[in-house]
Structure 1
Amino acid sequence: MKASLKGRYEPDKSSAAATLTFDAGDTRFKASITDATFAKGPSLNGLGLSVEKPGSFIIDYNVPQQDFRFQFMNTLQLLEKPFSLTYTHVLGARQTAVDGSVAFDPANKLSANYNFSSGNCKVKYVYAHGELRRTILEPIYDVSKNTWDFSVTRKFEGGDSLKATYQTSSKLLGLEWSRDSKLNGCFKVCASLNMMETNVMPKLMVESTLNYDI
């Protein structure tokens, strides 16, 4: 059984969440709560339940909204290349999306996402550069908006990574530094700046996750 605690801080607000996970054979069960669960005394707000079979399906249940989210995954061989397909449906919101990706080789991957409710479609290409593939380039094309988003990630030894993103439609520039440690958990610092606004300070966000074996 495993437990995780996540804290998120922004200048104008902060939040916290906790997750408890245990495995039964090849099936994983998960329960999660947020600070809303205890904000005004114990309640069902922020409570979520999940059952998962990795690589096959995930079923999430939002307790306060009494809503289900279904996700089914499968991997096929397409022209001798692994093709991954994911189907997602949110029952209450009546939203359905399909994701597909194909890995041409360890360094090149192409994926696409289509949302049947909104008609939005995005295509992403991932290129991992170098022998250790620590530099990752990700251009994303939004077909419905005819816009591009870009991200560059550099991974370092010890679990550190630095990521820069730019959204051409909103002129939003982002920078993220994260550290993933098996001993000390995960830590992330993000800064974003809207290039269309002047005399505005970047928005900051700090997130920390601690993992425990029970």
Structure 2
Amino acid sequence: MAKATVKGKYDVEKNAGSAVATVAFYAGDVRLKASVTDATVVKGPSLNGLVLSVEKPGTFILDCDVPRKDFRFQFMNTVKVLEKPLSLTYIHFHAPNRTTMDGTLTFDPANKVSCNYAFGTGNFRVKYAYAHGSLRRTVFEPTYDFSKGAWDFAVSRKFEGDDTVRASYETSRKNLKLEWSRDTKVNGIFKIGASVDMAEEQKTPKLVAESTWNFDLL
């Protein structure tokens, strides 16, 4: 089985667009992927933007950035803590020698806590997610960044059909974001986002549009 994904993004403020195309092949329980960007073909075929990946879903991912000769290792595992699932993700970036650890403890379908720690930097973030209602379509996500001593807040709402609206605010950067997305099996994913720097005198929204299409090749 082989699948292809094409993602296009357009930044209105920069009047510039970008694109990423990914082809994935399945060999048993392992997935092989190759990704290219517009930089790979815009000035003739080159290795710019080429990333090769080997992935076993739920276990590990190995990414190789070919032009930069850089590697990223990611390992995933789930253990039980007081009969609750704790999902752990370990990520190491070879060239910058940077390592992060993510953990998510799910108490029930409506409540979970996530942590992110970057080794060597002291950056530590804790996020609580609460899905409200019997259908859990509204999700509240307060986050505390210990390195900045600041809170971030986000709320999202999934409507009947395929539409989702999400609003977030970063208190340390005074950045307000609003995002609308539609996810359909026929037309793929379409997303429009707007962000405003509340610290600026002229609060001009920065708009970004993004589309993702998925195809079955074999």
**TM-score of the superposed pair, with normalisation by structure 2:** 0.97
User: Could you report, residue by residue, the CA deviation over 1:78-103 in whole angstroms, capped at 9, with x for unpaired residues?
Assistant: 11110111110001110001111100
Asked if 1:202 corresponds to 2:183, the answer is: no
Which residue of structure 2 aligns with residue 6 of structure 1?
7
Which residue of structure 2 aligns with residue 70 of structure 1?
73
User: Could you report, residue by residue, the CA deviation over 1:13-52 in whole angstroms, capped at 9, with x for unpaired residues?
Assistant: 2101101011111111110000000121110000001111
Q: Which residue identity lines up with residue 67 of structure 1 in the other structure?
A: D
User: Could you report, residue by residue, the CA deviation over 1:128-154 in whole angstroms, capped at 9, with x for unpaired residues?
Assistant: 000010000000000111100000000
Q: Which residue identity lines up with residue 124 of structure 1 in the other structure?
A: K
In 2: Cα distance, 1:201 partner to 1:98 partner: 36
Q: Which runs of 4+ in 1 moved over 6 A?
A: none
Where does the alignment leave 5 or more consecutive residues of structure 1 unmatched?
A: none
In 2: Cα distance, 1:141 partner to 1:22 partner: 39
In 2: Cα distance, 1:77 partner to 1:176 partner: 34
CA contact (8 A) 1:94 1:117 kept: no
1:1-214 alignment to 2 at 5 Å?
1-11=2-12, 12=14, 13-214=16-217
User: Could you report, residue by residue, the CA deviation over 1:161-201 in whole angstroms, capped at 9, with x for unpaired residues?
Assistant: 00000000011000000011111100000000000001231
Q: Which residue identity lines up with residue 21 of structure 1 in the other structure?
A: A
Q: CA deviation at 1:117?
A: 3.0
Q: Aligned pairs, how many? A: 214
Q: Which residue identity lines up with residue 7 of structure 2 in the other structure?
A: K
In 1: Cα distance, 2:99 partner to 2:34 partner: 24
When the two chains are superposed, the root-mean-square deviation of aligned CA atoms in Å is: 0.7
**TM-score of the superposed pair, with normalisation by structure 1:** 0.98
Q: Which residue identity lines up with residue 33 of structure 2 in the other structure?
A: K
SS of residue paired to 1:36: helix
In 1: Cα distance, 2:6 partner to 2:88 partner: 31
In 1: Cα distance, 2:79 partner to 2:202 partner: 51
SS of residue paired to 1:37: helix
In 2: Cα distance, 1:152 partner to 1:38 partner: 39
In 2: Cα distance, 1:39 partner to 1:78 partner: 50
Q: Which residue identity lines up with residue 124 of structure 2 in the other structure?
A: C
Where does the alignment leave 5 or more consecutive residues of structure 2 unmatched?
A: none
CA contact (8 A) 1:124 1:141 kept: yes
